[in-house]
Amino acid sequence: MSHKNHKKVVLFASGSGSNVQKICEYFQNHSTIKVVRLYCNNPKALVLEKAKAFEIDYTLFTKKELLDSDVLLKELVNVDPDLIVLTGFLLKIPKKITKKFYNKIINIHPALLPKFGGKGMYGMNIHDAVISKKESKTGISIHYVNEKYDDGVNIFQKEISVKKSDTSGTLSRRVLKLEHEYFSKTIEKILNLGK
């Protein structure tokens, strides 16, 4: 099957990659969208095994390579993705990449931005903050990426109620379910709109 007419998605991840798994499953036999490469800054990340399982090539890089050199930028230009998707990627994308791929990089954030965004707001830190601030709602935000953390325009949000009995653990599991349910569909929608 030729991928010439496929829209190309590349994924950036740092961790276990449960979203990578779901995205790869969703687009595995998709007629118009293909995941073509994974970029990872952590050689021990479980996500690498997931990429291998789906026969997706990956590039490992260091923080220095991301920030200081043009190697990664050149490779991305060469791959020419229609969309770059951050799936649990913890480093900030440098300006030279966000400029080159303007409105072509999206991220998922496990909170309702602009609340609980910014530096240090990732993983359990977010759910701990939501609970300690006694928020009544939380959820997910899928947004465009610019050179500031969690600052780009929101594309999609889905909220759930925070229960009195919630811990950061139960909350994170319910929020992750939303991520798995809506992330791939949103990627599909963006690419089908041809933006």
Catalytic residues: 109
- Cα–Cα distance, 186 to 24 (Å, whole number): 14
DSSP helix/strand/coil, 84: strand
- Amino acid, single-letter form, for residue 97: I
Determine the straight-line distance between the first and last CA of the chain, rounded to whole angstroms.
25
Alpha carbon dihedral 38, 95, 33, 21, in 10-degree steps, equals: 40
Residue 97 near residue 105, CB atoms below 8 Å: yes
Alpha carbon dihedral 178, 179, 180, 181, in 10-degree steps, equals: 50
Nearest one of 125, 113, 178 to 150, comparing CA atoms: 113
Q: Counting Cβ atoms within 10 Å, is residue 3 exposed (0-12), middle (13-18) or buried (19+)?
A: exposed
Angle at 17 between CA 77 and CA 78, to 5 degrees: 10
